[in-house]
Amino acid sequence: MSNRYSRHELIPGWKQKSLSDAKVIIFGLGALGNEVARILAMSGIENFILCDPDRVEESNLSRTILFRHSDLGRFKVEAAADALRQLNPSVRVDVRSQLLIHGVGLGELRDASLILSCLDSRSARLQLTGRCQLVKALYVDGGTHAWGGEVRPYLDADGPCYGCSLSPEDRSIADVPWSCLDTRPENPLGAAVPSSALVGTWMGMIAIRFLMDMPYPIGTLSIDSSRGTTVVIPQIRDPECPLHTSIYNAIKIDVGFQDTIQKLRDALPKSSEPLAWEPVQQSVECYHCGFQETRWGLPAVESCPQCQKPLRPRTTLELVEVPGNIKLEELGIPPREILTVRIGDSWQWFELKE
């Protein structure tokens, strides 16, 4: 009798159940994320969270196995979720069409079996690294260039991280790694279709071997198509790297991301001052004509209703200042986020529910 996985099961040491029990989060559903998601779903990973704020554009179609012409304009995560369910009907996908810090909470990162970082900018990678380090989440990062790329497994919570590989100058764009970063993609770089496939295949290979307790390469894989080589370069833990502080003992509270600030206040101890990880907008103002308006939410690019010049947002990290009727999700706080709360002179962490 053959089943979907009977050829896998002929492989010594293959553990299908370890794959079907795993929970995997993929950040970035571009060419690389498509390839990784395809391989993991076909291997029998069934639980995914996909996070990417972008929509499918025509220039994606030459490089992305999961998207079709009819997907143009849809969120990448929605189109990818449909395609994965067609590849493997057992797959369950939770889609997050937001930036990574607004899409996936720290509690979700901590509880994932593995995180795959298929992001296209250094600042977004650093932001994800900072968040993974906060909760000691394990991740594999991949990046492509024209004719190759790199795969960086970070599968030891106390080992080196992506930040360790950067110089202090490179890291300085992110002194506070989880905050105030411009995580928009840098100028797009070209990568040949087989480059994304090669790098994505290595990421998939390391992911399934890790999940099935098989040995995987320790170090950064550097893939060079002109030489036909994949070289493993050791990763070194930089004692100066600032990304190694972590959250311990987060207290679970009965407040979700769809609840209001008032409900959050009521659930926290007296005189708590909860903080957002990313600045939230409290008002907008125009430096040209003086227009001003209170507008709580995510900072957005908008133009002045009076003179059409760009409005400047005023932001804060202090959630005590937010009116009680505003919902946490309106401020970009994701499901199962862990919030830092100042109580007098000390700090405590509180974890939101689903």
The answer to whether residue 6 forms part of the interface with Zn ion (CB under 5 A) is no
Q: In a 3-state reduction of DSSP, which class is residue 5?
A: coil
Q: Are 12 and 37 in contact (CB under 8 A)?
A: no
Please report how close the Cβ of residue 305 comes to Zn ion at its closest, in angstroms: 8
The answer to whether residue 289 forms part of the interface with Zn ion (CB under 5 A) is yes
Please report how close the Cβ of residue 4 comes to Zn ion at its closest, in angstroms: 40
- Identify the residue among 104, 199, 276, 286 touching Zn ion (CB under 5 A): 286
- The torsion angles phi and psi of 64, rounded to 5 degrees, stand at -130, 115
Half-sphere exposure of 177 (CA within 13 A, CB side): 26
Q: In a 3-state reduction of DSSP, which class is residue 134?
A: helix
Nearest CB to Zn ion, comparing residues 140 and 191: 140
Q: In a 3-state reduction of DSSP, which class is residue 20?
A: helix
The answer to whether residue 241 forms part of the interface with Zn ion (CB under 5 A) is yes
Distance in angstroms (rounded) separating the CA atoms of residues 331 and 319: 9
32, with CB counted inside 10 A (0-12, 13-18, 19+), is buried
Size of the site for Zn ion (CB under 5 A): 12
Q: Are 72 and 57 in contact (CB under 8 A)?
A: yes
Length of the chain: 354
Show the site string, 304-343: x = touches Zn ion by CB under 5 A, - = not: x-xx------------------------------------
Nearest CB to Zn ion, comparing residues 264 and 286: 286
Binding segment (CB under 5 A) for Zn ion, from list 84-92, 233-241, 267-275, 328-336: 233-241
Nearest CB to Zn ion, comparing residues 245 and 346: 245
> Other CB atoms closer than 10 Å to residue 213's CB: what's the count?
10
The token pair at 203 is 């990421």
The answer to whether residue 161 forms part of the interface with Zn ion (CB under 5 A) is yes
Please report how close the Cβ of residue 290 comes to Zn ion at its closest, in angstroms: 7
> Other CB atoms closer than 10 Å to residue 229's CB: what's the count?
10
Please report how close the Cβ of residue 130 comes to Zn ion at its closest, in angstroms: 10
Nearest CB to Zn ion, comparing residues 306 and 325: 306
The answer to whether residue 163 forms part of the interface with Zn ion (CB under 5 A) is yes
The answer to whether residue 288 forms part of the interface with Zn ion (CB under 5 A) is yes
Q: Applying CB under 5 A, which residues contact Zn ion?
A: 161, 163-164, 241, 243, 286, 288-289, 291, 304, 306-307
